[in-house]
Amino acid sequence: MPPPAIILAGGAARRMGGGDKGLIPLAGRPILAHVIERLRPQAGLLAISANGDPGHFTEWGLPVVPDGEFVGAGPLAGILAGMKWVRSLSQSADALISVPTDAPFLPLDFVSRLLGAGRPIAIAASGGRTHFAAARWSLDLETDLERALTERLRKVELFAERYQPEIVEFSTKPIDPFFNINRPQDLAEAERMAQAEN
């Protein structure tokens, strides 16, 4: 069975004017629609990590998993919530895939390559950058992650580095598949990239 995956959509998108970044249009569709289209064929169970009104995501028919007691604690809270969601549904799953909501060009071999890594955490990298939210997490880390959040650890990279993560390098040809949209100028660049792909 393909592994379960969670799309991390709980950020405040301050540099984009606030709101749900994944709902911003890109090439005529929400950014989130592009992420789901790329990820759905690679994953088993699929959910959206988000806080606020889950009705914003109704059109995709996916579970919306809030951060619970760790709301406001960043992507690690979404990863932990994803682990708990998986545990509640499946006793056979042993890992969770996470992706950010603002990376609409995810590679189509993203999940299979992360599954080939042998360490408890495998993280994607491209163009000299490590993408800590695009990763595979062993569900055995759930207790450790909950403890870290309780101790107010907030940076994904600081938690991951405790376990000597395996870095999986992806090509940036013809485009960087982990290009992410943080600012209006990034959105303009993503529009150009999307047009070039079509």
Quick one: average pLDDT of 123-140?
97
pTM assigned to the model = 0.94
Give me the pLDDT at residue 119, please: 95
Q: Domain containing 48: what range? A: 5-197
Whichever domain contains 27, its CATH number is 3.90.550.10
The answer, yes or no, to whether the previous bond of 75 is cis (omega within 30 of 0) is: no
User: Which residue is it, tokens 């932990």?
Assistant: 80
Total tally of structural domains belonging to the chain:
1
Q: pLDDT band for position 197 (50/70/90)? A: confident
> Would you state the pLDDT for residue 124?
98
**Burial of residue 96 (number of CB atoms within 10 Å: 0-12, 13-18, 19+):** buried
